[in-house]
Amino acid sequence: SPENSYDRRVLSKILVWLHQGGSGDRNEINLNGQVERMIWNGLSAEDENCRLENCLKTMGGRCPFYKARMDAESAHILIVNHALLLADAATENRVLPAFNYLIVDEAHHLESATTDAMAFHLSPYDIRRSIRELGSHEYGLLSQIWTAVQSRLIPSELAQLSVTIGKITDIAVRFDTYMGQYFKALEFVLEDLREGRPIGTYAQQVRVLPSLRSLPIWFDVETAWDDAHASLQSLLLQLKALRESVYTPEDSDDDIADIMGSIATLSQHLSEIGEKIEQLTMTPLTDQIYWVEFDPLQSRLSLHATPLHIGSLMEKYLWHEKDSIVLTSATLTTHGDFDYLKQRLNAEDAYEMTVGSPFDYETAVMLYLPHDIPEPSDQYGHQKTVENCIIRLARVTGGRMLVLFTSYAQLKKTSQAIQPHLAKFDITVYEQGEGASASSLLDSFKENDRAVLLGTRAFWEGVDVPGEALSALVIVKLPFDVPSDPIIAARSESFDNPFAEYSLPEAILRFRQCFGRLIRTRSDRGIVVLLDKRLITKQYGRFFIESLPNCHLQQSSIANLPEHAARWLGH
């Protein structure tokens, strides 16, 4: 049942969506912010308690998850996303029906998808939500068990149970309080590291390394965790005693069994939280990356952990478990070979094959490199040139343009600058943001024959706009990862030459995917404009160009772009 305005808003969205024929697929519904997404996770089939037998018992087979799972059980071929595949692997094949043969499309995503699937995230909100779920005599799981046993226990047993429930509630509240102090101690560490300066608009991310744990201020974090850890251990012991005193496996009461199953799941979840915080605070594992993050927009601090390398996980869950696995993608190679991806996935023994493209890129695509655009390091000059370029090119193409950014802040700034100018020519600007979902935004773009779509990472790949609906693709900057990102920084340290061996191949893979947005059929024709002068001025620039199919390469000035585009597109 909804406990706050966030719960009510998400439930309202879901009810309206399902009533209007929604399939239950997460991609169809728009959820804003981390809180709404966390509420969804608690309701969706990702929840550990969501099993077929529970679903049938509580929903009578009406749930979209149950229908989809029953269809899957009788199917010969299953089509799932990377997240579901890896969730199945991580739970030792308890999510999907058994299978021996696997084809992974867009396989260049396996490392990032596995990283996400194995990641740990925790905020104070998660702790409070778990404590609320546990509840007391009046609400939550404890209230449910108190109500369910009224007719089964004698008065003395009820009195003892009441004392136990009261004790659990008190300890749970104490654990929540201590965790609040723990998070506050971490906030002081982050504030100390930025020397008291305001945080700004971007999240502060700090890796938890031995050097950080050796600082005097970290002692306050350890002290706060000692108190929280002790209360958590006491809480877990009390929950175990509760389960043993109220329920036995021979118990025939389904309601009590369900409630106890939920309490057991919650206990396991709290235990795992304790293990992860203990590692982050005191005893880190060498194969994990740990960091603390403060989001200024939501004023929220969170803890994070994820695997340093995923190759061994690929071996454990996939390579050594299936009879045959095929990895396929338009972008498995960097500079002509598979070595980089094979090394990242521990797939050195895999057979490899390169298949040529069916498209004649040389007659279909003009690759335009302006030689007089300012370097990205000249933020003001580069930004103004980007804005003018988009406006002038859009007038020639009549819209039908996708512009890809590496920064959401730059996307917003560009959108605000170009909208008034393009509106005069009846060209609509769509921008990726917190409003419409990526899929609904793309649908609107396809339906409007005079539109420009501005996107960040969600649009760098997987976007399919065949035909004249997309005539121009503008790439504002080369898609390098942010070096300070904790995962990127940690993995970079494992290379002798991090830029050449890690950052560059990753950027090339993303660049090639982005390029593939333009030509989707044999009859497509278009222009790709690269607004990053580093392609010309840096030695590594040629690797990006050489990674693409042979196109009609045109180097000229920004001023000549509209003329070249009009001639190439036949306008």
The predicted-structure confidence for 132-150, as pLDDT tens digits, reads as follows 999 999 999 999 999 888 8
Q: Model-level pTM?
A: 0.84
Calpha distance 501→505 (Å, rounded): 7
Find out whether 224 and 181 touch, Cβ atoms under 8 Å: yes
* Coil vs helix vs strand at 243: helix
Position 524 scores a pLDDT of 75
Calpha distance 394→400 (Å, rounded): 8
Quote the tokens at residue 405.
């950014």
Contacts of 73 (CB under 8 A, 6+ apart): 97
Distances (CA, A) of 198 to 37, 187, 194, 293, 405: 28, 13, 8, 15, 27
Calpha distance 324→103 (Å, rounded): 8
Q: How many helices (H) and strands (E) does the chain have?
A: 24, 13
Torsion of CA 154, 158, 161, 167, to 10 degrees: -150
* Coil vs helix vs strand at 260: helix
Q: Which residues of the chain fall short of a pLDDT of 70?
A: 1-3, 33-34, 42, 45-51, 53-54, 247-254, 434-437, 460-469, 518-523, 571
Find out whether 306 and 290 touch, Cβ atoms under 8 Å: no
Position 115 scores a pLDDT of 92
Position 466 scores a pLDDT of 47
